[in-house]
Structure 1
Amino acid sequence: MERLILAVCATRTPADGRSIADKTVRADFLERLVTGQVKGLPGEIRTIHLIGASIVGELVLTGLDIGYPLTFDWCKFDQAPRLCDANLLSLSLTDSTIPGLDATGMRVRGSVSMVRVVSTETIDLRYAQIDGVLHFRECDLRSSSHAVRASQMAVRSNVSFAKTVVSGQIRMIGAQIGGAAIFRGADLHSPNDVCLQAERTEIDEGLWFDADATRRAATVEGRIILDNARVGGSILLSGVALTQPHRGSTRKRLKDRATSLQAYGLKVTRDIRCDQEFRSDGAIGLCFASVEGTVSFDTATFAPGAADTAADPSLVDLSGTSAGMVELDFAQPPATLDMTNVSARVVTDNPSTWPAVIVLDGFAYDRLSSPQPVTVRERIRWLTRGDTNYRPQPYEQLIAAYRRAGQEHEARVVGYRKQHARAKEVRGISRIWSGILWATVGYGYRTWLASVWLIGLTALGWSVFTPIGESAIAAVEKPPQFHSLVYSVDLLIPVVSLGQDSTWRFDSGARWVAWGLILSGWVLTTAVATAIARVLRQG
């Protein structure tokens, strides 16, 4: 096999050892060949392309500058090749087996391609620089710890794990990817542990876990970490199943929860799509993220809530995130949805799939939409779903959204319910005054109640003063004629004088009725003034 390599390496012809009995190639022979220490070469090496070879020993090409392609098809390495700090034109392995690869700091002017490769130990690409693509396709990458280590790696084009099975962790913290990171049809297996750790990674075109052309969706066992990553395109998790979530996050809200996706401070210039039958058995922590497009959980399915709510994995935490649109029409909702301080232009949801607990304090939006009509009473229940404490901002935000949509009646209904909820929180004199405002003017949203009170109290005074009108005592020498109806109205309206209250008095028990009407008049006037002031402030 080694003689065949010598014969063809200067002709760009592969050394095909599949029909040769002895397929053995010594690793030190390849090292001497690359470094020009083998005599009898027919010319300058154009390529090293081995087919069906069995490479024995440790292939060490550390720090070498190799200006031609290295290609291995149907080859088997008994030790992991070492390419640390090597400068390569390109590297390709197809249908081959390797016990890992040490390529820390490797520089590749072309691409690195592995197709149907079985790796039984770590592929180490830390600090590697690849001007083309990094391509894994239909590979089987295994390790008891890190299947792929690629922190601080820089790839000018795509990084692809399409249809690849990865058993162990992919660790690429701080990597820079000039194209897309593609996991279409991939299977990531790191049960109850981290399967993809990509904090501070920069991806220019997108992170794709969605189905491939054969509709084979990716599967993920373990936790994906994307803290402080930046993605120039979209993150596509459509149809993906996130199972076997991992506990042990350092984030406060996720610390005791089994978590499938953790992405604090993530920046995405397009969409995050966890839709089209996306499923998660663990918590989703997408906090303080910035998404210019849509965050979608349409038709997503989450695990049922657990008895221990503090460690419940059925959580979607979007707190502090900003997005253009948020879609929340779940197939099966999480037990808890945290929208604290979320901002979005448009939010779509469905009352039939609202989570049991929704935290809305600080949630800001321009418009709400739903595939089916949502009544204002349903929206009011939505505001307090699972949260019994009074929080004014969710009410105010819903009022503003209704007013922007021209639904003034609905806005007034929500305003009334806001004041009613607030009244339950106050104590002492404030609670008494809230009760008076509720009874007299409906907190300013039912001012017609004041007219009902005025008519009722007038009728009461009329019925009391009419039979005893002759016992009225004049307070002036030439009083006008006593009129019980006018007298009652004059008592009730403190800012207007009709000449009856200042002229006539009663010494009998009727005077208590008169004083009661005067007090009621002042209460009604103050309540109406408060209601008018509130309307002016809102205007």
Structure 2
Amino acid sequence: MDGMELTATEARVWEAYARGRTVDLRPTDGAAADSGAQWGPERTVRAEVLRALLLDGPRQAGETPLLRLTGARISGRLDLQYAEVAAPVHLWACYFDEELDLYGAQLRQLYLGRSVLPGLHAVALRVDGSLRMSGCRVRGPVRLGGARISGPVFLDGAELGEEGVRLTEPVLALNRVTVDGDLQADGGFTAHGLVRLTGAVVAGNITFDDAVLSNPGGTALQASNLSGGTDLRAMRLSAYGLINLRSARIPGRIDLSYARLSNPGGMALRASSLMVGELWFREAAPIEGSVSLRRSQLDLLYIVPETWPEQVHFDGLTYSMLHPHEPAERRLPVLDRDFDGYVPYSYEQIAAAYRRIGDDAAARTVLLARHRRHRTTLAWYAKAWGYLQDFTVGYGFRPGRAALWFLSLLLVGSVTYAARHPHALKPAEAPDFDPFFYTLDLLLPIIGFGQEQAYAAQGAYQSLSYALIVMGWTLATTIAAGVTRAISRQ
């Protein structure tokens, strides 16, 4: 190479490049790249040598150039800003002294698996194939904002940031990135700080299974306006800080089964205006911190009541199915925790979900609870009318109670007037007295059997007749109001 004398190690790398062969500098003891700062010249390659090799390296007829370097210490800053690199770059289990700079670069393929870096500056990077950072250890920020990756992105097992060291910027910035394959941040992926996926578009699956996102008191995952092609899997995720999925679009499933979401004193999950096929919290730990699902649209919501936190935001939440099937009495207390207080739409949603699976009794229980909750917001006179409807007919959702009241009043009147007949107003024209139909005449405000017009009770018995008339009208009015209301909701 003109103007630069190569070391023996660098000469090996230079010669292997043209034939696409691997140069593995690891000793037989298999020491990890974390100890790279102590590696000597036999394992060191200067960044300027790699830059020259990638931009103007040798070619050999019939061979495909490929940089395959394993277990090397990269000294100096590897600066490939705006560079167009035709050969795939595989820097496996390498140790970088300084931040890798790929700002605006165009690469065919980039593998950095199991490497140790102080940081990665790759804003607006273009990769024609895949980007692999499996098992990487990056102490500083990984900047990939606006990148375009034509294949998958692998971050499985990577660790970004340092525990106890809070950066002023995201440890992983994937905002406005476009990934034409999957995004895998699973297999023990750990981020000590903010992971930003704002406005990212991922054509395939997004996976955070077994990941740890730690930014206590702050935002652990900022994924507002995220667009996924299939599912977002985060099974067994441990998140310390806010998970923000506001306005995300996931056509398949967001799976938070067995996950732990913790942000005490703040919001643990913000998923307002979310559009997703299914949202799963199967056997997830009780959420520490509030949850917002305002205006979100789901086909299926899977969660047991114990998983919900002490404060929720449900206004405008729409879903078709609610699993697993639980008695209405176990679901209803969660609605009392809504930050907005009484939200009638939330009751309607649960009732509709019960009706879809044929559990009409549970649906009626929910709607009755809705009216009772609404009653607490009314003026005293409206509350009184509400209590009367509830006591007599359960707002129309307890028709058996109305029948019991009616039969009880009918029995009292029949027995009373059988013992003491009212006197006939016109004895010569009056029909034979019947205490049962006389009481029925008093109770029914419209239908008449001719008894009430022919006979009149006196004294205390007259007072009873007035009471039966009033209770009959009240019972009829509350039944009509309750039934009308119940029918209008179905």
- Determine if contact 1:223/1:260 at 8 Å carries over to the other structure: yes
Which of 486, 491, 499 is the equivalent residue of 2:442? 491
User: Which shows bigger deviation, 223-232 or 353-362?
Assistant: 353-362
* Residue 219 (structure 1) aligned with residue 196 (structure 2): no
- Per the alignment, residue 296 of structure 2 pairs with 342
Alignment map for 1:234-249 (pairs within 5 Å): 234-243=205-214, 245=215
454, 461, 465: which one pairs with 2:413?
A: 461
**What does residue range 262-411 of structure 1 map to in structure 2 within 5 Å?**
262-275=222-235, 277-303=236-262, 306=264, 309=265, 312=266, 315-335=268-288, 336-370=290-324, 374-385=326-337, 389-411=341-363
Tell me, in whole angstroms, the C-alpha distance in 2 between the residues paired with 1:418 and 1:520: 26
Matches of 1:79 and 1:106 in 2, distance apart? 13
RMSD: 3.5
**Aligned partner letter, 1:327:** W
Question: After the TM superposition, which of the residue ranges 411-420 and 456-465 deviates more from structure 2?
Answer: 456-465
The 5 Å alignment of 1:473-488 reads: 474=425, 478-488=429-439
Classify 1:376/1:48 alpha carbon distance in 2 versus 1 (closer, same or farther; 3 Å): closer
- Residue 505 of structure 1 corresponds to 456
Moved more, 90-99 or 508-517: 90-99
Q: Is the partner of 1:100 in helix, strand or coil?
A: coil
Amino acid at match of 1:485: F
Shift of 1:524: 1.3
Residue by residue over 1:463-489, the C-alpha shift from the partner in whole angstroms, topping out at 9 and shown as x without a partner, is: 54445435x351687222333332221
In 2, are the aligned partners of 1:362 and 1:394 still within 8 Å (CA)? yes
Residue 112, structure 1, aligned to residue 71, structure 2? no
Aligned pairs for 1:97-246 (under 5 A) are 97-130=74-107, 132-142=108-118, 147-190=119-162, 191-193=165-167, 194-211=170-187, 217-243=188-214, 245=215
Shift in Å, 1:529: 1.9
1:319, distance to aligned residue in structure 2 (A): 1.9
Secondary structure (helix, strand or coil) at the match of 2:452 reads coil
Shift of 1:447: 1.0
- Please give the alpha-carbon distance, in whole angstroms, between the structure 2 residues aligned to 1:510 and 1:48: 110
Partner of 1:35: none
**Length-normalised TM-score, structure 1:** 0.76
The answer to which structure has the higher helix fraction is 2
Q: What amino acid sits opposite 1:533 in the alignment?
A: T
Once the 2 structures are TM-superposed, how far is the Cα of residue 86 of structure 1 from its aligned partner?
Answer: 6.1
Indicate conservation of the 8 Å contact 2:286/2:306, yes or no: no
Unaligned runs of 5+ in 1: 6-14, 24-29, 31-44, 54-71, 212-216, 247-256
- Which string of whole-angstrom CA distances, capped at 9 and with x for unpartnered residues, describes residues 316-356 of structure 1? 22222122221102442322332222322222223454434
Change (3 A) 1:475 1:397: farther
Q: Higher mean Cα deviation, 361-370 or 435-444? A: 361-370
Once the two structures are superposed, residues 65-92 of structure 1 have per-residue CA deviations (whole angstroms, 9 ceiling, x without a partner) of xxxxxxx994433879878x96887656
Q: Which has the higher contact order (CA 8 A, sep 6+)?
A: 2
Distance 1:18 1:361, change over 3 A: closer
Question: Partner of 1:249 in structure 2?
Answer: none
Q: TM-score, normalised by structure 2?
A: 0.83
Identity of aligned residues (%): 24
How far has the Cα of 1:533 moved from its partner? Answer: 2.1
Q: Displacement of 1:19 after TM fit?
A: 11
CA contact (8 A) 2:314 2:338 kept: no
* Cα deviation, residue 93, structure 1: 5.0
Determine if contact 1:235/1:273 at 8 Å carries over to the other structure: yes
8 A Cα contact 1:16 1:51, kept in partner: no
1:516 aligns to 2:488 (yes or no):
no
1:168-189 deviations in Å (ceiling 9; x for gaps): 1011111111111111221111
C-alpha separation in 2, matches of 1:135 and 1:360:
44
Distance 1:427 1:227 in 2: 46
Partner Cα separation in structure 2 for residue 316 and residue 339 of structure 1: 8
Q: Indicate which of 464, 476, 488 corresponds to 1:525.
A: 476
8 Å CA contact 1:18, 1:51 repeated in 2:
no
Distance between the aligned counterparts of 1:73 and 1:202, measured in 2?
39
1:438 aligns with 2:429: no
Q: Post-superposition shift, 1:392?
A: 1.5
Residues 157 and 179 in structure 1, CA contact (< 8 A), matched pair in contact too: yes
CA displacement, residues 384-443 of structure 1 (integer Å, 9 cap, x when unaligned): 356682221222111111111122222222222222222222223322221121112111
Instruction: Assess, with a 3 A threshold, how the Cα gap between structure 1 residues 105 and 361 changes in structure 2: closer, same or farther.
Output: same
2:218 is aligned to: 258
SS of 1:102's partner is coil
Contact 1:80–1:101 (8 Å) recurs in 2:
no
Task: Report the residue type matching 2:178 in the other structure.
Answer: E
SS at match of 2:112: strand
Deviation at 1:496, TM superposition (A): 0.4
User: Which residue type is aligned with residue 246 of structure 2?
Assistant: C
Deviations 1:148-181 (A, max 9, x none): 1111221111111122111110111111111111
TM-superposition CA deviations, 1:7-47 (whole Å, max 9, x none): xxxxxxxx771599xx9xxxxxx9xxxxxxxxxxxxxx979
2:37 is matched with none
- 3-state DSSP of counterpart to 1:205: coil
CA distance in 2, matches of 1:222, 1:4: 41
Deviation for aligned residue 1:226: 0.4
Code of the residue aligned with 1:77 in structure 2: it is: R
* 1:96 paired residue number: 73
Letter in 2 for 1:100: R
Partner letter of residue 124 of structure 1?
Answer: D
